[in-house]
Amino acid sequence: MAKSLTYTCNECGASSTKWSGQCDACQAWNSIVEEKPLAAGPGKKSLGARRGKAIPLTDLATIGEAPPRTMSGVGELDRVLGGGLVKASALLVGGDPGIGKSTLLLQAAARFARNGLKVIYISGEESTAQVQMRARRLGLHESPVSLASETNLRDILTTLEAEKPDFAIIDSIQTMWADHVDSAPGSVSQVRTCAHELTTFAKTHDVAIVMVGHVTKEGAIAGPRVVEHMVDTVLYFEGERGHQFRILRSVKNRFGPADEIGVFEMTGKGLAEVKNPSALFLSERSPAPGSVVFGGLEGTRPMLCEIQALVAPSPHSQPRRSVVGWDAGRLAMILAVLESRCGVPFTGLDVYLNVAGGLRITEPAADLAVAAALVSAREDAALPKESVIFGEISLSGALRPVVQTENRLKEAAKLGFTSAITPQQTKQVAASGLSMRQPRDLASFVEEVFGERK
């Protein structure tokens, strides 16, 4: 009986039984390729036909202390890693082209090498001369980091086994190819196989391995999602090309908190860590209608940022809703609540919303700050300069408290803010010294702050 063929999308990893020009899952064109099944033993139909060997079991009581971490000396990187680099761990770093992934990892490699680790940087995209050129530009050319340029996975593993490094960087996983897999480099089969082999090598040889991953146009790491399940830590390097800020975000970490972020600034000498992101994001703020300071939280770190809104009459029959740095669906919900529960209409008005500095906000605690920015822009009335706002809005117009309010208020007080607008259930922190305004619901907030101008 003939084996059925499987076709897999190189962009999202979706499988189907027939080939087509466009993937039904991610809508990418010419990304579907034939995937050959893994070979089973000759004449073997099941694993039960042949007995395997017993696996030695280990007791929980025999486990010693947690493995020590190696600090890089870059506070923002160590924060995202959960306190430093863990031995025998596998990490995956993704980001847009040209965002600075290779620069960040080369700087990290130099720091770890200076701290006593044996480090190897293997590039499949650049020659060793190109990597040396970048290291010279960054002032890292005297660091004891070994370089190599290779894409053959068998040769790479042989070299790593002979050199016995403590830390290895593979840039990138999409350029690696295993000679026993009949598909092109970058295909789903190759990426999955190479990631599996490198992760297994990291666990069995006590080597920390970082793999760089390309991303799709949607921003997700290209290739099968199973790669993200294989590794211990998944990091995304984010940023807008028009801004000098770069954000290293942890979306999975077996050795520390997920959703932690590190903030860097792109300079002529490479990436410099930003130790006080809130002050940097607010450094160029000028109070105006539609400008609001949001007391946010990224991972375990409180971070203040500016939310800007602009409301203008629309010349079109269908008003425009444009969002940068926030969820467009949540903006539509806030507009509906303002119109339905507070009597603030936005019909016939274009609405533009922006999170300053290229930051992306995902937590619902920004609801109240967004609503305040929208009403402020519509009424052309600026909020008090030294006020910070946060709170979640329900569909009924009620205001709900958010987590870690104490840290948010303390961060605001540290930066010189004197007042805060929060939901009623929020407890005032005596140490913060902020004057609190706690409206009952969204309608009360709009009436209290903008009632005279409405």
Give all strands (DSSP E) within 220-320, no chain letters. 233-238, 245-253, 261-267, 270-273, 291-298, 301-313
Distance CA 115, CA 118 (A): 9
Q: Is-contact 411 371, C-beta < 8 A?
A: no
- Those residues whose C-beta lies under 8 Å from the C-beta of residue 189, and which sit 6 or more positions away, are 8, 35, 36, 181, 183
C-alpha separations of 101 from 149, 238, 242, 250, 319 in Å:
17, 9, 17, 14, 39
Q: Give the H or E element holding residue 341.
A: helix 328-342
- Residue 100 assigned ligand-binding role: yes
Half-sphere exposure for 406 (CA within 13 Å, toward CB): 3
- Residues shown for the chain: 454
Cα–Cα–Cα angle for 161, 165, 169, rounded to 5 degrees = 100
Q: Is the C-alpha dihedral spanning 111, 112, 116, 120 positive or negative?
A: negative
- Residue 99 assigned ligand-binding role: yes
C-alpha separations of 347 from 7, 289, 318, 319, 321 in Å:
48, 19, 9, 8, 11
- Residue 95 assigned ligand-binding role: yes
- Those residues whose C-beta lies under 8 Å from the C-beta of residue 437, and which sit 6 or more positions away, are 419, 420, 421, 422, 448
- Residue 98 assigned ligand-binding role: yes
Residue burial 379-393, b: 16+ Cβ < 10 Å; e: rest: beeebeebbbbbbbb
In the chain, the largest separation of any two C-alpha atoms, in whole Å, equals 84
What the block records as the tokens of 436 is: 């609190």
- Residue 97 assigned ligand-binding role: yes
- Residue 358 assigned ligand-binding role: no
Distance CA 393, CA 101 (A): 37
Distance CA 359, CA 325 (A): 6
Nearest residue to 374 (alpha-carbon basis) of 346, 396, 355:
346
Q: Is the C-alpha dihedral spanning 163, 164, 169, 173 positive or negative?
A: positive
Annotated binding residues for ATP: 95-102
Residues annotated within the binding site are 95-102
